[in-house]
A and B are shown apart, each in its own frame.
Chain A
């Protein structure tokens, strides 16, 4: 019904077709080694979540540069295609198709936003394209269905909420009242549901004095702070992140809310640099994983230091957790390709062979190693600690850290997180490892 397809578009189309036909030739039959390994990466380049998306893209560019200098993956140089999650789902799923069908990417990295992940993962099934879920946290992905081509190379909501809860129960076992102030969107609601289920099982009888869900991106929390000052909860939970968390902490600190209540901030790490010394000491902070700059016993300290220094040298800031999650996805990709190529005796894997290589894969990160379970979920340890200041960093880092082994805080394969959390018993606390000074 349209004649918007001008000559230029037609040429664009023709060129694109020629490209895709060439690719089709390369992908079919005897899987010859491609001239480049194409990686499609969806990340936020615009909007509020670009505070995560842009550093993650920076990290990817940095690491790919390194990989290519060292000869690429399996001798093939890597090329990344970045796609913005900002415009919404219908645009993103179109972009996913473009990357797979037109650019001929060999592997996809999907999404910061849980909504994006929920939309892209079924596409990976349909298009039979290995997709690494590199940052999104929703537990719904692998708990509501099987996705043979999707793998999450990091932790997810359940361990990221349960670990701070266990830490709180160890650190301040006698708290009686709690308030929650989360962003009003899926993660804010989901994380509260997980927390509540865990808390009611592990420490029944805590009184919830306020449940607040200010709108996403709210610029002012004065009413909420006033209410919290009046309610005097022992503990205040907030899984907010990015600019929202920075605003909340600043306004709460200004009015001395941190002196009255203990805060639990599971996604604090990414905002610590912005907050600097404004972040009060002695509150529970998490990082959606174990990648703190002051990790007490990283598996490969030299590698961690090298990554952090290289990132700082290039971008003039410390890497935050999305950078590490990106690095994890890339490490998984390297290990997965290596395994698939080895399994084929040096040949280049097709889509199915590549996916097979990821099932049960273990790969190293600078701080630890991560195993992808049979359902595709990665097991990433969690470190939670108390905010503190040291000579070394101009921002808060945790002390008295507890390293939670991933298997301990993740719902077992085939179980739904909320149901599983409800079955926990207070004795579970005895399994929590002792804190390590950091």
Chain B
């Protein structure tokens, strides 16, 4: 029971960290009106993938995603894991680079970018070095510390809302062809892979994970609708980070702080550090599976240094967006192929088992 709670919280935090930044801008850019529809499609896809993935994993109750394939040849499984690994590393690079950029934009304009990248990466590497137990437990602490702040800011951000901006409701499927829409899946695809990795360390109940996914639905909706309801579609689409802009405009007289954004952003960054450490841990697990002789801590150090230099090498925001778009193919692989494949293998194994018992 307690263990499920940790997994649930981790699941929520990972997604919260990812939702509020690029996701609103991408959705607002992908359609002119009726934003609920693309969000809904995204959520449905998310749920279908999540359910398939968990169903697939449930055929192997005490195994993680790596040991499921322990009987097959390493060369063959590498074809399956290489895109996941590549996706994880790219996701880490994008996240670190993007968030470092956002931090400099919002509140550390004089600090060199590389120091922020270094800070984010070193703390994430430290946490992931401590292992999955520490990551999930830290998630629990950080949830207690920062989630109330996040919730407070979220409620406060309704301050300037004009509900008439919500109409018109009708919508079309035009967003499907927009690259921005596929970039928005970054918020969906990032978090759920870890469910396949935590299995032997932390067991969880599927029902609870679904509960936490349901818990996230309002956040997906609000992150897009609050900017639209405050500014209207036309102005909101001009903003670089619409939600951050809205939070920046909140004015609370009795609070000693002028910029509520900071607290909002900072709590999200706390969650993002967790997400990064989790992704680093997954990446190291995969690498260590193929290079079993090397010590994980060395691998972690090497990977972090490599990621640092790649982040350093990306010159500006345009390139981050390009990478984010390029990553779309890998993302669809992670989002669709991986759950289906795990499910297929699980089914086949089950059929084989029942045949043998007969």
The finding on whether chains A and B are genuine partners in a shared complex, rather than unrelated, reads no
Residues on B lying within 8 angstroms of A by beta carbon are: none
